[in-house]
Chain A
Amino acid sequence: MFKDITLGQYYPTGSVIHQLDPRTKINFTLVYIVLLFVVNNPVGYLIAIGILALVIALSKIPFVYIARGLKPLIFIIVLTFILNMFMTPGQVLWQWKALHITREGLKLSIFMALRLTLLVAGTSIMTLATSPMDLTDGMEAGMSVIPGLKRVAHDLAMMMSIALRFIPTLMEETDKIMKAQKARGADFETGNIIDRAKALIPILVPLFVSAFRRADELATAMEARCYRGGSGRTRMYVLAYAKRDAIAYIVLAAMTAAMIGSRFIQYPWPFPFG
């Protein structure tokens, strides 16, 4: 049962976005997020929406999955929208007793909600289009560039990669332990919060004991295969940029210029952005 869970949200389609070097994708996403806070008018936001739409289309990932990533945040987005709409001072458009909507409020609420949505969607598309292993490799490569962090980068990446490897295994084990305790009459569903917390002990203790035992055996096996940390290690697959990454970086540069430049556009924007 647990064998079928796709880890994280990775949705492989083999698209050109999936094939990009993870470093490209991480950098692109980081810059995109920063630029979302730089734009301040409709043109800027339209460019942001356009870029995202282009990436989603190229990735061949069904929009449903992006929407799913947004679902948990619907509440916050709506809340942001409402708060900004009612709480911003300025030229009043509509009033009822203490509540008032201003023109500035309307503009701000639209931009804020949009910014949040694009931020989540942008990060979502990155994790959907990049496998957890690739993400780990990308982050390791990224950190290694900073002087003095190379060893830490390797250690962190190794830890992450081992964790990723064992998550399905430990999930299956948790399931087994739960069933074994249920077979002895354990009940995880009834009772108040204290009861339920206590009921977790028969699961957590064996799970942790097992995890430590696994770690010990794994360490022995790794040493038996001559693992001594990161120094002197080679890799079977080395991250290497390809032509498509160069194109992506050019697009990134153009996008940056455009979004920064959009701030300087003087234009009589239609209501309420004017």
Chain B
Amino acid sequence: MNEQTAFVTHGQNGQDAQSQPIIRVENLSYAYPVEDSDQPKQALSDVNLTVARGEFVGIIGHNGSGKSTLSKILNGILSPDSGDAWIEGMNTKDPEKIWQIRKTAGMVFQNPDNQLVSSVVETDVAFGMENLGVPSEQIKEKVTEVLDIVGMSDYRKARPHQLSGGQKQRIAIAGILAMQPDCIIFDEPTAMLDPNGRAEVMKTITNLNREHGMTVLHITHYMTELVGADRIVVMDGGRVVATGTPREIFSQVAMLREIGLDVPQMTELAYLLNQDGYDIPKDVLEIPEMVEALCHLK
């Protein structure tokens, strides 16, 4: 890492920081009660997951696969029916620990507008720190620092409704960064953005993970956003149906299609050519790889 800020991670509970995963989910199950019905809707069934320090883990699944229920449980908004979720060793079911949990695992949500609380950017970024009782001078310094990291320093005094969706999300990210979390959970942060906004936000998230060592759990339904992830967890119908590296997961085109997900056009093409007997590696993700693979055929 260069001179830029590295997010020093200490185990919040004094445990051995290096070995303990920041997020750990064990046998998690949750069902939503359904009005006028005895049958609750099973949103999560026996989910297991870990995220280690510094990792970029992606969760992918169509709407209704359980991924947003999972993020609500990690943030302590919902309590599991069975199983547990731990953030830095703190159980999310523990009401005493809930605020510490939320400081430790920051969360960025889907709707850029409905996360911004203040009519001026810098005051919004300061909001989390104000809640934590950080002294005034420190708040000002931190605001400068995090706005710089997300590339929005010029917009310090801007008003939210003057910003694009991508810019608003970057402000939301800055606000979370300012609270110095150990990890950030991104709950479909690009779902409501246009391609430019999506690219902006993904660049920021990748930069946070690669340049600043921030642990990232990225929930999305866009496969292409997870090309750079360390690990991908695929969810369907409340269960984990596959985990692996991007290459391992992307090449399972048939499975992904079946559960309603997209793959990049290159991977899809590789799959179709493969089916027709061409010797193309199934885990082709990008154009240069495809060109190389085809050249090798001739």
Contact = CB atoms under 8 A, between A and B. Distances in A.
Contacts of B2: none
A227 B131 contact: yes
A40 B179 CA distance: 58
Contacts of B162: 3
A241 to B, nearest CB: 16
B133 A225 contact: no
A195 interface: no
Contacts of A213: 114
Contacts of A169: 113, 160-161
A236 interface: yes
Interface stretch (B38-46, B116-124, B215-223, B260-268): B116-124
Nearest to B113: A169
B161 A218 contact: no
B109 A225 contact: no
Interface string A216-232: 01101111111110001
Contacts of A221: 107, 109, 114-115, 117, 172
A226 B179 contact: yes
B117 A236 contact: no
Contact of B136 (A161, A222, A225, A234): A234
A17 B116 CA distance: 30
Given A222-B117, A225-B102, A236 B161 contact: no
Interface residues of A, number: 31
What does DSSP make chain A's interface, helix, strand, loop or mixed? helix
Interface residues of B, number: 41
Contacts of A164: 119
A232 B129 CA distance: 11
B128 to A, nearest CB: 4
A98 interface: no
Contact of A223 (B102, B120, B134, B136): B102
A225 B116 contact: no
Contacts of A224: 75, 102, 106-107, 109
A233 interface: yes
B117 A218 contact: yes
B133 A232 contact: yes
What does DSSP make chain B's interface, helix, strand, loop or mixed? helix
A225 B179 contact: yes
Interface in B142-186: 143, 159-162, 172, 175-176, 179
A147 to B, nearest CB: 23
A58 to B, nearest CB: 24
B169 to A, nearest CB: 12
B97 interface: no
A169, A218, A225: most-surrounded residue (chain B CB, <10 A): A225
Contacts of B160: 165, 169
A67 B172 CA distance: 41
Contact of B130 (A132, A172, A233): A233
Nearest to A168: B161
A236 B130 contact: yes
Contacts of B127: 222, 225, 227
Given A227-B127, A234-B135, A235-B136, A214 B102 contact: no
Contacts of A162: 117
A133 interface: yes
B113 A226 contact: no
Nearest to A136: B119
A162 B119 CA distance: 8
B111 interface: yes
Interface in B216-244: none
A62 to B, nearest CB: 23
B130 to A, nearest CB: 5
B77 interface: yes
B132 interface: yes
B131, B135, B140, B162: most-surrounded residue (chain A CB, <10 A): B131
B120 A133 contact: yes
Contact of A225 (B114, B140, B143, B175): B175
A220 B228 CA distance: 29
B143 A226 contact: no
Contact of A172 (B102, B128, B161): B161
Nearest to B123: A236
Contacts of B32: none
A226 B123 contact: no
26 contacts: A3-B162, A161-B117, A164-B119, A165-B117, A168-B159, A169-B160, A172-B161, A213-B114, A214-B114, A217-B111, A217-B115, A218-B114, A218-B115, A218-B117, A222-B117, A224-B75, A224-B107, A225-B102, A225-B131, A226-B103, A226-B131, A234-B130, A234-B133, A234-B135, A236-B136, A236-B143
Interface of B: 75, 77, 99, 102-103, 106-107, 109, 111, 113-120, 122-123, 126-136, 139-140, 143, 159-162, 172, 175-176, 179
Which 6 residue pairs are nearest across A and B when measured between Cβ atoms?
A217-B114, A225-B128, A236-B126, A168-B161, A221-B115, A165-B119
Interface of A: 2-3, 132-133, 161-162, 164-165, 168-169, 172, 213-214, 217-218, 220-228, 232-238
Given A214-B111, A214-B114, A226-B179, 8 more contacts: A224-B102, A224-B107, A227-B127, A228-B131, A233-B130, A235-B130, A235-B136, A236-B122
